[in-house]
């Protein structure tokens, strides 16, 4: 059994004003195919993230009504996360989005929050972000942060907003809030591990890491030495509306992790992952994060 702990299924980029409200409005998406895929993949859970990118880029990846409806249709298989830009166009607190997020989290319509500092051109430790962290902490909702993996141009996602040390004080100020830093904080993974050691409420994932196989193997080796493997999850980072594209993405990642990762670690002279550690990455750690075990 596996958990795709980081995807954007039903969350393609759309401009403001073009948001779809329900999976029935998405002709490319097949709910019956999703159900069949869960059986085929032996999938316990799939987490899908909404990204609010309105401040700089004028659009969304997905949307709150669409993903909330998806979660409501399949509450045993789907967890949806809200997106937010904490700052408005005048660099002030985005009060409207805060109220929306508070309502979604308190009602359970969506069960977590996603912030994207580099795309929104803001710092994670900006005091304007703190009401959003407080809302998540009150609701017991994890905060996922796209704080890494900046493969776009500097104009689109400036790296100065992505340094992981910015999260150290944030995590300390909200000790009852769980933060998951996506993509192992690439390219500042060891810096992130330093934050994780001092802040047990900080997690990370290995989504979008298979393209750098030796770096992934080394980072997992470091994580073991730091005692952090039980706070690392896996996800496809798939973006789209097509179940027939998502399924092979899941299969390719899982098969590679199970068959190819340990041989790399062995060739490099690093300890291989045990079966228990592999299950932690692919399922058990996410299950604990979401209170499933």
The predicted-structure confidence for 33-53, as pLDDT tens digits, reads as follows: 999 999 999 999 999 999 999
CATH number at residue 253: 3.20.20.140
Q: What pLDDT sits at residue 75? A: 98
- Look at the chain and report how many structural domains it folds into: 1
Sheet holding 13-15, edge to edge: 13-15, 59-61, 51-53
In terms of residue numbers, what domain contains 133? 2-289
CA nearest to 218, candidates 164, 280, 264, 162: 264
The predicted-structure confidence for 99-116, as pLDDT tens digits, reads as follows: 999 999 999 999 999 999
DSSP per-residue string spanning 8-44: EET--EEETT----SGGG-TT--HHHHHHHHHHHTEE
> Could you tell me the pLDDT band of residue 208, with boundaries at 50, 70 and 90?
confident
**Do 49 and 7 meet the contact criterion of CB atoms below 8 Å apart?**
yes
Answer yes or no: pTM beyond 0.85: yes
- The CA distance from 102 to 17, in Å, is 22
- The CA distance from 124 to 168, in Å, is 10
Q: What pLDDT sits at residue 221? A: 98
């Amino acid at each position: 059994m596996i958990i795709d702990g980081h995807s954007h299924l039903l969350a393609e980029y759309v401009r403001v004003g073009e948001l779809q409200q329900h999976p029935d409005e998405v002709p490319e998406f097949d709910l019956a195919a999703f159900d069949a895929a869960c059986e085929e993949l032996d999938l316990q859970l799939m987490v899908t993230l909404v990204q609010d990118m309105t401040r700089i880029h004028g659009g969304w990846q997905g949307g709150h009504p669409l993903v909330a409806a998806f979660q409501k249709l399949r509450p045993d298989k789907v967890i949806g996360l809200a997106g937010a830009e904490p700052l408005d166009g005048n660099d002030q607190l985005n009060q409207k989005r805060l109220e929306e997020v508070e309502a979604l989290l308190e009602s359970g319509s969506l069960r977590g929050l996603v912030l994207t500092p580099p795309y929104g051109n803001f710092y994670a430790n900006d005091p304007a972000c703190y009401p959003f962290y407080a809302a998540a902490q009150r609701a017991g909702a994890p905060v996922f942060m796209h704080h890494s993996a900046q493969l776009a141009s500097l104009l689109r996602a400036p790296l100065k907003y992505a340094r992981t040390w910015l999260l150290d004080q944030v995590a300390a100020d909200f000790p009852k809030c769980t933060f998951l830093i996506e993509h192992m904080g690439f390219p500042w993974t060891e810096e992130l591990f330093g934050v994780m050691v001092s802040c047990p409420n900080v997690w990370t994932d290995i989504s979008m890491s298979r393209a750098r196989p030796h770096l992934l193997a080394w980072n997992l080796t470091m994580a073991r030495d730091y005692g952090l493997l039980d706070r690392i999850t896996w996800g496809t980072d798939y973006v789209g509306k097509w179940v027939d594209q998502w399924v092979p993405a899941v299969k390719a990642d899982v098969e590679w992790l199970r068959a190819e990762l340990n041989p790399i670690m062995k060739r490099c002279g690093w300890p291989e992952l045990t079966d228990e550690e592999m299950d932690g990455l692919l399922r058990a750690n996410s299950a604990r994060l979401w209170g499933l075990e």
